[in-house]
Amino acid sequence: MQDFLAMTLSGQFPEPQQGQQHGFAWHWLAEGVLELTPVQDYHKVVVLSAGIHGNETAPIELLNQLCADLFAGKLVLQVRLLIIFGNPEAMRQGQRYLNADLNRMFMGGVSEFTESAETARAKGLEQLVQQFMQHSDPQAIRLHYDLHTAIRASRFPTFGLLPYKSEPFDPEFLSSLEAADLDALVHHQSLGRTFSQLTAETCQASSCTLELGKALPFGCNDLSQFQATDTMLRSVVANQPLPPRGKTSAMRQFQVQYSLLKQHDDFKLYLSDDAPNFTVFEQGELLCTQQQQETRVQHTQEWILFPNPNVQKGLRAGLMLTEDTGA
């Protein structure tokens, strides 16, 4: 198997499209989708995805190096693994997306968008990941790490978002997020349309969206910034003990309280363009206006995540969070 990223960006399919080496069988399932199954028994089924947004290149490069080390025998595969580069055409063009946000198209969200290559890709990824899970050992623990980078700077440079899940998350999975040295963890309280929500809801996986740094072009990333996440993922793939948390500060815990939905063209967000994620607001402060209606901070303090007043109508222009202090 040649360089997985180079092969994906080239638009070519490898020849052959399956094989076996270093104790695992591999199968190129589709453009940017690679399945690896160890010859010996496995107890975990893992999905590692990146590039759902095509310009978020650091996680793509991280997964490509992990894949290369598996094929070189430098990393021993001990789980059933699916590696996904989500939006290859957007990756080639260095764009977040081409027509619409792929990470809003899962869990039925695709029906709200005009048909395009991205809606077809969303449907294809849903089918591939569900088939992968269905054809795996039903007793195996199911995990999904969906890797992203943020559009803007953040008060907490690395953080995760847990999708809504009625069943408890796997305790070892939660420990792996600690081991990744995440600064913060955000808990959703309702169903979303993200890729991690899909696997949590339809595949009974413990899933998380990980945000690592800022979006930069291919070749401009300092992957050493994400060493803790890389080490954690390699431990998961090799089924080895998780590394200890390197940061002395505890991972901050937040709950999503509500979304700021852009419903009209006159939507105005009262936040500067360079304000970072996790900017904090005090109770009563004005957040946004549209059609002469005001939205103000409801709790004593709220933090804003993913503020973006330029989204299409009907989409969220920000998430409002409260901190869970455990008090």
> Of 89, 211, 285, 302, which is the active-site residue?
211
- Alpha-carbon gap, residue 143 to 199, rounded angstroms: 9
* Beta strand spans in 51-157 (E): 80-85, 141-150
Q: Which helix (H) or strand (E) holds 29?
A: strand 24-30
What are the binding residues?
A: 53, 56, 148
Both tokens assigned to 219: 């070749």
Q: Which residue type does 220 have?
A: C
Respond yes or no: is residue 211 known to be catalytic: yes
> Hey, how many other C-beta atoms are within 10 angstroms of the C-beta on 164?
14
Report the b/e string of 279-316 with b at 16+ CB within 10 A.
bebeeeeebbbbeeeebebeeeebbbbbbbeebeeebb
Both tokens assigned to 228: 């803790």
Q: Name the region of 112 (left: φ>0; alpha: ψ -120 to 50; beta: rest).
A: alpha
Both tokens assigned to 153: 């700077």
What are the binding residues for Zn(2+)?
A: 53, 56, 148
Contact 79, 44 (CB under 8 A): yes
- What residues are labeled active site? 211
